[in-house]
Each structure stands twice: as C-alpha cells, then as structure tokens.
Structure 1
Amino acid sequence: MNNPQTPGRTTQWRRIIIGIVAVIIILAALLALDLANHGLIWRILWSQTGEEQPVGQIQGAIELGANLLRVPPQTAPQTPIQHTDDIPYGINTFFQNEVETDKMRVMMAMIREAGFVWLRQEFPWEDLEVDGRGQFTDTRNDTNGDGEINADDTVDAWAKYDQIVDLAEEYGLRLKVRLSNPPAWAHADSENTTPQAPPDDVQDFVNYAVAVAERYQGRIQHYQIWNEPNIYPEWGEAFADPVAYTDMLCRTYEALKAVDPEIVVITAAIAPTISLDGYYGYQDVIYLENMYSAGAGTCFDVLAAQGYGLRSGPTDRRLGLTQVNYQRHLYYRDIMVAHGDADKPIWLSEVGWNAILDADLPPEQIIQYGQFGLNTQDEVARWSPLAYQRAAEEWPWIGQISFWFFTLQDPFTANQASYYFRMVEPDYSPEDPTFTPLPVYETMKAYITERMAAPVLYQGVHQAESWEIETHTDIEASSEDTAGTLLEVADAQFGTAIEAYEVAFSAYGTQVQMRIQVPLEDVLVYVDGAQVRSVESQDNWRTVILSQNVLPREHHYRLVAMREDFLLDSILVENNAFWNILPFVITAFGILLTIGAFIYWWWQLHRRR
C-alpha cells in the first residue's frame, strides 16, 4: 500500500539537502575569500600551522588534528631554570676566516648596532693546534714569501683568536665558543674519514679544550662541545654514536670545570632529523634519550638544539616524530624533564630560514637547492623576529638564541644553498667598507631595539637577576644609582638572590607572584603606578601574589623598600587563560543547551496541537 505522505516527505528532504549544499557552498566561498585576503580564518590558521598559502594552511590544519591523538610533551614551564637570565640575542659568525682587522671591526659594529649581544663563534681545533700535539703554531703557509714552507714561516696560532676575543670585548659582545673540527694529525687515517670526525684519542680533544679555556679564563665562560654529532659528516664515516659522544662530553666537562667551575658547558647542537639509518642521520629524539642512558645528564649545563623552520614559519604547532619544524625542541625538553633535568635550559644554536627563492642563480646551479626550505627574503625578515618572540612568550626553558648567520667571507659560494641564510651581503671592500643589509637585518634590529627598550616577562620563573628586571640600591644611602647586589643565599632557588631597595619590571600573564624575603622594613607594591599592597617584614622566604586576571594582561610592577633593602629570589608569571575561561565556557554551553531543549519542547508541544 502506497504511503500518501511519501512525495511530500521527499520534497521536504530535497529542500533540506539543497539548503545544506547551499550553506556549504556559501561557507566555502567565504572561507576562500577570507584565505585569499588574509582575514580572520587565515590569521588563525597561520598562528597554528606556520603556513601562509591557503593549500598549506588547510593541509596543516588537518595534520594539526593529529596533535590531539598524541600525548603532549611534558615541559614543566613553571620550574625554575638556570642560565636563562641573560639577554638572548645571538648570531653566528665566521671570524676565523677573516684576515682584515678593519673588516672585522665593521662586522662587530653592525652586529652590535643591530642589538645582538652573543657571538656563536667556532675556535676550530684544526686552526689552533696545527703543527702537532701540543703545538699551537701554524706552519702551513709561506708567510715570508721565500717560496718554501719551513720553520721560518711559523706563526702563533693563537694570535688570530686573541684578536677575535679582544674585538668582541671592545664592542661589548660575548662569546659562546664552539670547540670542534680536529686537525689532520688527530686521525691516523685522515684520508678515509671526514675532516669533522672525532679524533682517534678523545684525550687530545680534551687537552685542546683545556688549552683554550686556560688561555681565555675569565674572558670566555661558555663553551660548546662539538656540533651535530648525530648526522653526517660530523661524526666521520662511522655510525653516529651517542655513547661515544657522551664520553667526549663528560671528559671535557670535567676538565673544563677543573679549569674554572664557573664555565658553562653546552652540548653539541642536536641536528633535527627523522633519519633512522644511523649514518647520514641518527633520529634526534632517540639520540638524546641514548645520551641520557649513557650518563650525559651529569655532564652539561645547557642542552643545545637547532631551531630551523625549514618548510614552515615560526608559528607552526604541529607535533610528531616525523614533523621537523621550529618547535622540534619540545621533544628534547620532554626527555630532559623525564630525566630530572627540568632546571636546565635549551639554547638554540642556529635559527633561520633559507631565502633561496631570491637567488640570482637558477635552481639547477645551486647545490642542495630546497634542502633547507624554500623561502623569500620577505618571509625571513618577517618570521625571524616572530621566532624570537614566540620563544620569549611560550618557552621559558629557552635561553640564548643564535641567528644563522651574519655573513660569509665572500660571495663565491652563492652556488650552495647554505649561502642564503646570510643576514647581510658579503660585499665589503676597502673602497666601500660596509656590508649591504638584507631586510632581516633591519627587522631584527627594530625588534631587538623595541624589546630592549621595554622588556616584558612572560610565563615561567624568572630569576631576580634576569635582564628584564631592573633593580636599584638605596640611592639616598649610596649617593648614586647602582644595580642591586647579587648575593649568595643558601635557601634561594639557585643559591643566589638580589638584594635591592627598588625593583621594577613589566609582566604579561594571568597571575604574577614573587618569592621575596623582607628582613626589616615593609616593602610597598605598586601595579601600574598605584599602590596595591605592602609586604610586611619577615625573615623567611614567602610567595606573594602581585596580580590576578582572568585573561592575560600586561602590568608594570614596582617594589620599593620603606627603609632597608630586601631580597628578591624570582618572579613567577603564569598564563592560565584556558583554565580560567573554561568554567565560563562550560556554563555558557549548559545555558545554551537548556534554552535549546526548552525551545524544542515548546515546538513539539505546539506542533501536536
């Protein structure tokens, strides 16, 4: 028997389907229009995927969903972390290849003018202990021009590096020295291995490291042990070996600490790689885990990583063991936390994007074209400041970050992809004694200038001696304005605290609190110029909340002693916006659900009538 209502229902369902299709078409058109004009959806997708092209954004959004299926890395962001209190702005340089003092001075001046404070500079072993074991002399060149190379051509191999250290100090720059690249005599069979391979006898390397540390004791405090030992060719023709590298690291750590306990030992930068062959690449996360298994946890102060963006921008939040992007170090941090090293930082040794799309040469003439990504100068200029800013806002365990790199000795390697990481053109000449800045130089200069003029503390624990915190002694008592005093205090988080009469800083978060000790007189607390409370005197450490907000806000804080100096250990900034607004979202959803249920009940009731 035919149902008389079937044609009507069919028409009704047809209308519903047509309506749904029409809505989908309209939404798709609006989405396409938004993505094409960098609208709200485009900005949201960019902030999550690091992609600027619509197709890449859509693909990235799909891949981003996989994050929900994985256990997120444990990063312990509210843990006090050492060696993160210095100004973070660094850059890689190759002064070992320069011979003209005037040229080096121009480079130093431009680097300092841009606001960079750190130089990551290699002191190549092969260029120091040249003539043999224990011989820091160089007889490789015919220096006297007599047509023969003999003892009369010997020069002091230290002289070049003494000049680098002198110039760095003159221009107010700090050195983070990379120790690597053995001389040929360190390999019995140097013809059948790579120049970067570890020495046959690790003690030779340790002795070289000690010689450098002793010569520059009190002038250089930061040393990095080797470079990218988990990829070819940095570990020679042998398979990458985390146990052997850990042995080198631990022996060098112990020797350097014997020279000066204040030396900061930095691991080799771990190369981000998904390769599993162990030869051309030893998967980075597994390599680090195996380093810890070999005992590396007691043999470094700072873990070094690379921060290349490769094929996406600095806002890429996709996570996966096969996903290599700017935030790859989150997996390293997870391993560090699991092994009890949450109080140690990660420093990014090389950060940058490859502006090869603006090369004058065609792709087929550039070696390794596309291997390091395909970017424009405009992208590099916009993304580089964002990379530094994201680290400041989200990753309190990240300390010093070094841009890769300032410039090269000359333009003759433009046929290699690595050339296109430069910040300025290598076009210096005595007739035109300067370097042509690329757009990234100007944007980084503007960014650092802005940050230095108005520093802000973001989420994490910041020690009182952090560069963003301004401290003063009692001006009336000392007759001059001086910075607070760093004192050894046994029960402070890292054994030191700042004694000050006044402290000022800005912070961005939902809650800001301080760890303070007020021995004698009360301390007044001002937020955005208004006094909000006073902290009464008490001999022990205590945590005092300075401000609380549902959503993150930036405030300026000022602490002033009424009479006597106080001790400040650290400032904790939290950003709990998600958890703060979650109850409101749940409540709103419940209200809407209730209203919807009532409307449905009312509609059903009147429909029956």
Structure 2
Amino acid sequence: MSKVVIFMKILCLMIFCYPFYGMCTIIGVGTHFQGYRGDSENYLVKIKSLGFTSFREDYPWSNVEKTKGSFAVSDSIRKKDSAFLKAKGNGLEPVLILDYGNKFYNDGDYPRNEESINAFVKYATWTATRFKGKVKYYEVWNEWTIGTGMTKYRKNIPSAEIYFNLVKATSEAIKKIDPDAIILAGGFNPLEQRAKFIDVTDTVWFSQLLKLGILNYADGISIHTYSYLNGRRSLRTVEGNLDYLDSFHAASEKIAGKGVPFYITEIGVTNYTGPGGMKEDEAANYIKEYIKSAITRNYIKGVWIYDLIDDGKDKSKRDFNFGLLNNDLSPKQAAPVVSQFLNGK
C-alpha cells in the first residue's frame, strides 16, 4: 500500500469519515436559535469552534404560513432563517426539520388527509426553494409517534401509512426542486419498549414504514436514542445502547431487504437533579464515548447531540438541562471534553 493511500485513510478516520453510501459521519448539535440572545451567526461560530460540522433546527409550518396560502419569513423564525442562510458560509451543513400543524388545516391537526398533506407539501416546496444551495438535509417531521409539538392531538396520532404518505409527497416535491437534497424520515426512539400514544411501539411502527417502502422516498432514517430513563438499565450505558442499536439495525435491514442508513438526530443526557440525571463529569464522558463508539459503525451516518445550550436555569427541570453550555453560555464540563475530542486535540 502506498504512503499516499495510507495517509488518506488516516486522514479519513481523523475527520470521522467512514465509507458507507459514499458519505461521512456528521457530528452535529441540536439548537433553538429563536430563543438565543443576539445574532445567530455568533452561535454558528461557537458551534464550529466546538468541532461540530452541523446543527439541527426546526422550521415550523405555522411560522411560515401565517396567512393562508401565503409563505414568508415571520418574526417567529427570523433567527432560525438567518442561521440556515449563513450555515454553509460558516462551514456547517444544517438539518432543517419540516414539522407540526397549521391552524388553517384541520384546526392545526396532523396532516392526515389529502388537503392538509398537499398544503404541507406547498410549505415544504417554498422552504426548499428558499434554501436551495444552503440546506442539503431535510427531515420530515419530528417525533410523530409521541406527539411532540402536537399535544392537543396525542389521543389520535395518525398511522404509519399516513406518515408514509406525507413523506412520499414531501420528498417528491423537494427532489424536484433540489435533486441533491437528502431526505430524512422517522424521528422515533427504537430503544423505547412502550407504546405511549399509539397502539404500537416505535419499533413496530417503523417496521410498518419499511414494509410500505419508506426507503424509496427517504435517504436516511432519523432516530432518537435517549436511554437515561430506560427501564432496562443496560441500555443506559454507551455500550448497551449501541449494542442494542446494532441488533435493531440488522433486523431493519432484514425487513427492508437492503441497507438502512441511520442518522442519530438526537442523543443526550440531562444534568438535572431528578431521576436519570447525570453529574457534569459523567455526562461529559458519556457524550464523548457515545460519539467515539457511534462513528465506528458504518451504518450510522450522523450523530447530533441534544443540545447546545440549557433552555433554563432551574436544575430541577429535566428538559432545561441538556445543554453543553449553561443558560448563561458558560461551558459545562462536557463542552471542552467534546470539543477537544472533535478537534483532535
């Protein structure tokens, strides 16, 4: 083997590049730009300096179509919009989530009929046109099966077939505008063994999608692999979490009859004081080791840590304390640990 070839292989590993479907593993972070103080670009610089190559952020339908049939950048998404427009200029490849209902269709319910699916597709079409050349990754919905952002409709979450129809129509529309776009679908947790708001578990729901042919319209599958409160304590460890994922992935490929690229679009631990919370040093090691182990698996195409900044200051609230940075932007212990690892220091 020539020295040039050896050097290129080493370089490939250093930047977390693993040959699979001709792509490399992306390491990103979840964001909430609209709630951040100051200009979005300051946070893009921070994300890049930490060693991440991507961020994941939603671009909700209700904030784009505030007047029925008319699409525009409202004040509700102005900072998000700026982040997506400036991402590539700051060396980042963002993931844009198309999600949630709109009051003009089904009283804000899920897109579950032809009219509302067509309306969702028009919003997706406008969004993809706006960000062509700026955004490559589009995710269709976020956490469909547990009703995130859709609390009012959790008692009647649509079936896998309806979600499939939404993904199909949205993917076809985006690909017409940007054939190079990468469409992600799923947004579920394969480690969760309970059925929360629908009558099947997430794994059964996903098997239904595979049988319907979701991979004909999705280039990758988005999964959330939280396990800090999982009843099976072995799954709370990095090794147990990813070993389970290996088995789940193998079973998924058997159903699909072909490769199934996974994107871990959310994984994180909370530093709150309640059950499942981790101390900062424990969280720092968990996040680093999770990334380190995940990137050795060829079927995992990306990992996004949830999230960049704590949503609040109250340490007793679970959802406030997932950040790599405190709410005042000071770094937690995880920030330098992960940054040094990602930057190869």
Partner SS, residue 407 of structure 1:
coil
Match of 1:184 in 2: 103
2:344 is the counterpart of 1:445: no
- Of residues 226, 235, 238, the one that matches 1:314 is 238
Q: Counterparts in 2 of 1:425-436, with a 5 A limit?
A: 425-427=326-328, 435-436=329-330
- Say whether the 8 Å CA contact 1:93–1:406 is kept in structure 2: yes
- Say whether the 8 Å CA contact 1:309–1:326 is kept in structure 2: no
- Say whether the 8 Å CA contact 1:88–1:401 is kept in structure 2: yes
- Of residues 148, 173, 189, the one that matches 1:271 is 189
Give, in whole Å, the separation in 1 of the partners of 2:46 and 2:320. Answer: 19
Give, in whole Å, the separation in 2 of the partners of 1:181 and 1:278. Answer: 16
Change in Cα spacing, 1:382 to 1:296, as seen in structure 2 (3 Å) is same
Deviations 1:35-64 (A, max 9, x none): xxxxxxxxxxxxxxxxxxxxxxxxxxxxxx
Give, in whole Å, the separation in 2 of the partners of 1:414 and 1:214. Answer: 41
- Of residues 230, 244, 247, the one that matches 2:165 is 247
- Say whether the 8 Å CA contact 2:20–2:299 is kept in structure 1: yes
Change in Cα spacing, 1:160 to 1:447, as seen in structure 2 (3 Å) is closer
- Say whether the 8 Å CA contact 1:270–1:306 is kept in structure 2: yes
- Say whether the 8 Å CA contact 1:288–1:332 is kept in structure 2: no
Deviations 1:371-402 (A, max 9, x none): xx232111111111110111123x21001100
- Structure with more of its chain in helix, by fraction: 2
- Of residues 373, 384, 401, the one that matches 2:287 is 384
Amino acid at match of 2:342: I
Match of 1:120 in 2: 56
Q: Counterparts in 2 of 1:411-430, with a 5 A limit?
A: 411=312, 414-427=315-328
Partner SS, residue 88 of structure 2:
helix
- Say whether the 8 Å CA contact 2:29–2:307 is kept in structure 1: yes
Query: How much has 1:270 moved relative to structure 2?
Result: 1.3
Amino acid at match of 1:129: E
Give, in whole Å, the separation in 2 of the partners of 1:304 and 1:349. Answer: 6
- Say whether the 8 Å CA contact 1:274–1:282 is kept in structure 2: no
Partner SS, residue 267 of structure 1:
strand
Deviations 1:390-448 (A, max 9, x none): 1123x21001100000014x526655311121110111xxxxxxx20000001101111
- Say whether the 8 Å CA contact 2:210–2:256 is kept in structure 1: no
Change in Cα spacing, 1:441 to 1:251, as seen in structure 2 (3 Å) is same
Amino acid at match of 1:443: V
TM-score (norm 2): 0.83
The alignment-based identity, stated in percent, is 18
Give, in whole Å, the separation in 1 of the partners of 2:218 and 2:265. Answer: 15
- Of residues 383, 388, 399, the one that matches 2:301 is 399
- Of residues 168, 176, 186, the one that matches 2:87 is 168
Give, in whole Å, the separation in 1 of the partners of 2:208 and 2:124. Answer: 24
Change in Cα spacing, 1:137 to 1:345, as seen in structure 2 (3 Å) is closer
Query: How much has 1:171 moved relative to structure 2?
Result: 2.0
- Say whether the 8 Å CA contact 1:231–1:240 is kept in structure 2: no
Give, in whole Å, the separation in 1 of the partners of 2:126 and 2:327. Answer: 32
Deviations 1:532-565 (A, max 9, x none): xxxxxxxxxxxxxxxxxxxxxxxxxxxxxxxxxx
Partner SS, residue 193 of structure 2:
coil
Match of 1:322 in 2: none
Query: How much has 1:343 moved relative to structure 2?
Result: 3.1
Query: How much has 1:123 moved relative to structure 2?
Result: 1.1
Unaligned runs of 5+ in 2: 1-17, 230-235
Amino acid at match of 1:329: L
Give, in whole Å, the separation in 2 of the partners of 1:342 and 1:80. Answer: 17
Query: How much has 1:230 moved relative to structure 2?
Result: 1.8
Query: How much has 1:292 moved relative to structure 2?
Result: 1.8
Amino acid at match of 1:417: R
TM-score (norm 1): 0.48
Q: Counterparts in 2 of 1:173-322, with a 5 A limit?
A: 173-188=92-107, 190=108, 197-198=110-111, 201-233=116-148, 236=153, 237-272=155-190, 273-276=192-195, 278-279=197-198, 282-311=200-229, 312-316=236-240
Match of 1:569 in 2: none
Query: How much has 1:285 moved relative to structure 2?
Result: 1.4
- Say whether the 8 Å CA contact 1:391–1:398 is kept in structure 2: yes
Q: What is the aligned-residue RMSD (CA, Å)? A: 2.6
Unaligned runs of 5+ in 1: 1-78, 139-154, 317-324, 358-368, 428-434, 454-609
Give, in whole Å, the separation in 2 of the partners of 1:111 and 1:137. Answer: 24
- Structure with more of its chain in strand, by fraction: 1
Query: How much has 1:355 moved relative to structure 2?
Result: 1.7
Give, in whole Å, the separation in 2 of the partners of 1:214 and 1:400. Answer: 25
